[in-house]
Amino acid sequence: MFKIEKPDDEIVEKVGTTVIADLVKISLSDDPSKFCIMPRKYTEKDLERVKNMEIFEDDIFVITFPKCGTTWTEEMVWMLNNNLDYETSKNVRLTARFPFLEWGGIIHHLDVDRIEELKNLPRPRHINTHLPIFMLPDQLWTVKPKVIYVTRNPKDAAVSWFHHHRHFHQYQGTKADFIEAFSKDLMFFSPMNRHVLDFWKIRDEPNILFLFFEDMKRNLEQEVKKTMKFLNKDYSQDQIDKLCTHLSFDSIKDNKTVNKNEELRRFVTSVGGNYDPSEYTFIRKGQVGGYKDELTVEENEMMDKYGNYAEFEEYGFEYKY
């Protein structure tokens, strides 16, 4: 079913790290256009187990390409689906309330069996993942739990992913090499455009909600109400106003159970690094258009050439900037 090979481009070696080691290209044997760059560890540990995992109708998935508003969306979805339980949100870390599906299978030195952990998670389960559509559990398409997909313009996503890779994965290379790998669809979890378009094509399915990070930034209340309706919940305007305050960027960034800074500190320490919160936080800037201050002219031009935008036009999709 899957073909696993080493990408034939030296840029892959340049963006690999000791934490995210030995990147390989996983593709469908009968459709090489469906592929994803992942650590070899994932192919040995969790590839088939994730495909075959049991899915329940009341599961809720948040699916994103990395750095597209995942944490923000998780907290919004969990709160809406748990009767606005601020007490639990304040005392239980989001990583426990909304576990990351592939966590144990991608980090070189970790020995975590996330698949087994999810079997014992109380229902309804809330699960987040960055996996592309062809690597997700098969039962996702037969059981049809609710799926919230979120995307963001690729320039902002690439810049945020670079900072994450540098601080979380201990990447020592240059931003220019990272952007080159991203634009060649050879970065960890790439390709982004295919990831997004595959979900855009099924956005009208009743169990799929497709959101944009930029819409959440520009009108959070509107997106909260849209998600509330999708989850079949009903809250008063006062309750929605309070939730929007809870979900504001400053609030999320300072919320210790949500911002994942403690998880970041523990992880960086475990790989022998030093975590300096004054230099980097898991929730960094949350801006629309922040790439303008970070990409060089050459890097910006490289991103302008990224992807098959003709196919996007065919399906009526356009990134928001």
Which uninterrupted H or E stretch holds 110?
Answer: none
Beta-carbon contacts of residue 184 (< 8 Å; ≥ 6 apart):
9, 11
The 10 Å Cβ neighbour count of residue 103 is: 16
The span from the CA of 170 to the CA of 158, in Å, is 16
Tokens of 51: 């495909």
Choose among 222, 247, 258: nearest CA to 237: 222
Q: Which amino acid is at 293?
A: D
Which uninterrupted H or E stretch holds 181?
Answer: helix 175-183
Which uninterrupted H or E stretch holds 2?
Answer: strand 2-5
Which residue of the set 108, 109, 130, 164 is catalytic? Answer: 130
Number of residues written out for the chain: 321
Beta-carbon contacts of residue 250 (< 8 Å; ≥ 6 apart):
none
Query: Cβ(55)–Cβ(145) under 8 Å?
Result: yes
Mark whether 109 is an active-site residue. no
Strands 31-39 and 60-64: unpaired
Catalytic center residues: 130
